[in-house]
């Protein structure tokens, strides 16, 4: 159960990097453009760890026979797999193509995706917390 907390910490961390991306969109492009480029790069690097961690938790849930939790996470896992399969052609691991990320549609989509995931992770964080406390109390 302690693992859950850890997971959440990671999730928080993940969401943490999402925010900068969101922010840089609204920032003044002329002033912040350099920062923005850097942040996009950071985001590129963070995608894979996020997926791996999520996958790792799913495995842990599976081992712990937490079927309900696993079911909740499976759709996202499937989405991650699909997203990674349909990523642009690139030789290195990564999800975002620097040449198209500035396209308003793609950027908006990534942003939306980030927020949705943030919400999901937050909710699951509280759910895990509740589950952990429940287990602690009942034991």
Partner 1 sequence: MYPPTGCYGAPPQQQSYPTIPAHSTPAPHKAPITNSAHSANYYQSNHQQQQHHHQLPQHHVAPSQYSAPSSSVPPSQPHPTLHSSVPPPSNAQYNQQQHPPYATPGSYYGQQSYHSQQQQQQQQPNLVPAPAGGPGAPLYPIVSYPSAPGSSQYGTLSSSQSTSAPGVPPTQMGAPLHQYSTSRPAPTTAVQPGYSVAPTSQLGPTVNGQGSTVHQHYDQSHQASLSYDSYGRVTHSSGGADADRPPSGTPSTSVHSSPGHHQGVQYGYVANSGASSASATTSGPAAAPLSSSSEDDDDDEEEDEEAGGDTSSSSTGSASPVPNSYDSLEGGNYPDSMPPSNDMTNQAAPYGSYGYPSMEPAYQQGPASHTDSSPSHDLYSQSSYQQYSQPFPNLSQLSAALGGLSGVPELEVEALRPVNLLQERNLLPPRPLEAPEPNLSPDLKKVNCSPHTFRCTLTSIPQTQALLNKARLPLGLLLHPFRDLQQLPVITSNTIVRCRSCRTYINPFVTFLDQRRWKCNLCYRVNDVPDEFMYNPVTRSYGEPHKRPEVQNSTVEFIASSDYMLRPPQPAAYLFVLDVSHNAVEAGYLKYFCELLLDNLDKLPGDTRTRVGFLTFDNTIHFYNLQEGLSQPQMLVVSDIDDVFIPSHDSLMVNLKESKELVKDLLTSLPAMFSQSRETHSALGPALQAAFKLMSPTGGRVTVFQTQLPTLGAGALQSREDPNQRSSTKGVQHLGPATDFYKKLALDCSGQQIGVDLFLLSSQYADLASLSCISKYSAGSIFYYPSFHYIHNPAQLEKFQRDLERYFTRKIGFEAVMRIRCTKGLSIHTFHGNFFVRSTDLLSLANVNPDSAFAVQMSIEDSLADSSLACFQAALLYTSSKGKRRIRVHTLCLPVVNQLSDVYAGADVQAVTCLLANMAIDRSISSSLSDARDALVNAVVDLVSAYKSNVSNLQQSGLVVPAAMRLFPVYILSLLKQKALRTGTSTRLDERVFAMCEFKTQPLQQLMRMVHPDLYRLDNMSDQGALHLNDTVVPQPHLLHLSAERLSRDGAFLMDCGYVFYLWIGKCCSEVFIRDVLGCPNYASIPPNMSHIPELETPLSERVRAFLDWLQDNRAFSSMIHIVKDDASAKATFFQHLVEDRSESASSYYEFLQHIQQQMSK
Q: Which residues are at the interface with partner 1 (CB under 8 A)? A: 29-30, 33, 36-37, 88-91, 98-99, 102-105
C-beta of residue 117 within 8 angstroms of C-beta of residue 15 = yes
> Given the complex with partner 1, which of 72 and 107 has the nearer CB atom?
107
> Given the complex with partner 1, which of 35 and 130 has the nearer CB atom?
35
Q: How far is the CB of 33 from partner 1 (least distance, A)?
A: 4
Q: How far is the CB of 90 from partner 1 (least distance, A)?
A: 4
The phi, psi pair for 25, rounded to 5°, reads -65, -40
Whole-angstrom distance, CA of residue 68 vs CA of residue 44: 31
> Given the complex with partner 1, which of 35 and 134 has the nearer CB atom?
35
C-beta of residue 98 within 8 angstroms of C-beta of residue 40 = yes
Whole-angstrom distance, CA of residue 128 vs CA of residue 70: 12
Q: How far is the CB of 87 from partner 1 (least distance, A)?
A: 11
């Amino acid at each position: 159960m302690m693992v859950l907390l850890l997971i959440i910490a990671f999730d928080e961390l993940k969401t943490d990097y999402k925010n900068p991306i969101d922010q840089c969109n609204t920032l003044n492009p002329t002033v912040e453009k350099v920062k923005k480029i850097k942040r996009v790069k950071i985001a590129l690097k963070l995608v894979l760890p996020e997926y791996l961690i999520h996958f790792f938790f799913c495995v842990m849930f599976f081992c712990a026979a937490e079927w309900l939790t696993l079911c909740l996470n499976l759709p996202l896992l499937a989405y991650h797999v699909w997203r990674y399969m349909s990523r642009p052609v690139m030789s290195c691991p990564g999800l975002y193509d620097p040449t198209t990320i500035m396209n308003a549609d793609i950027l908006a989509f990534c942003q939306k995706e980030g927020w949705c995931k943030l919400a999901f992770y937050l909710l699951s964080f509280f759910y895990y917390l509740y589950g952990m406390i429940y287990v602690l109390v009942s034991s």
